[in-house]
Structures are given as C-alpha cells and as structure tokens.
Structure 1
C-alpha cells in the first residue's frame, strides 16, 4: 500500500511548513493593521437577567 510510505509526503510537508514559516509568515505579519487598538474607555452596559418561565 503506497499511501503508508511516508517518505515522499513527509519531505513535502516539511518543505511546505518551512516555506510558510520562513518566507510567507513574516511578509503577512509585516502588514499594518487596518483597525489598530484604541485607548477608548469601555462602556459597561447593565443588563437584566432573563427570567425563564420554566425555572
């Protein structure tokens, strides 16, 4: 059964992850976020609990 032989697929998987980790990921992480975090005060909303009729 050739699908149980990990020799070619292990190499392909390792090369794929190395490519992603070393080349693609730093390029993606260098982009500027379009929605940077702000220092706004969080508004706390007061919610009332729901009274379930079956409890």
Structure 2
C-alpha cells in the first residue's frame, strides 16, 4: 500500500504549513479592517415587562 508511506506526504504538509506561516499569514495580517471598532458609550434601554392579556 503506497499511500501509507509518509515520506512524500509529510514533506508536502510541512512545506504547505511553512508557506502559510511565513508567507501568506503576514500578508493577510497586514490588512486593516474596513470597519474599525469605535469608542461609543453603551446605552442601556429600559425594558418593561410584557403585559400578557390572559393573566
């Protein structure tokens, strides 16, 4: 069963992870998000209990 031989597949997995970690990931992390979070104050709304008609 040649598919159980880990020699070529381990190298492919290692090369793809190194490519992702060293090349692609820094390029993706350099982008700035389009909607940066703003420093809005949180407002709490007053909640009223629901008046059920059958109680």
Q: TM-score range by the shorter chain?
A: 0.7 to 0.9
List alignment gaps of at least 5 residues for structure 1: 50-55
> How much is the aligned-residue C-alpha RMSD, in angstroms?
2.1
TM superposition shift of 1:48: 7.1
Normalising by structure 2, report the TM-score.
Answer: 0.74
**Considering only CA atoms, is the larger Rg found in Structure 1 or Structure 2?**
2
Distance 1:3 1:48, change over 3 A: farther
Confirm whether residue 14 of structure 1 aligns to residue 14 of structure 2: yes
Alignment length (residue pairs): 50
Moved more, 8-17 or 40-49: 40-49
Moved over 2 A (4+): 42-49
List alignment gaps of at least 5 residues for structure 2: 50-55
Normalising by structure 1, report the TM-score.
Answer: 0.74
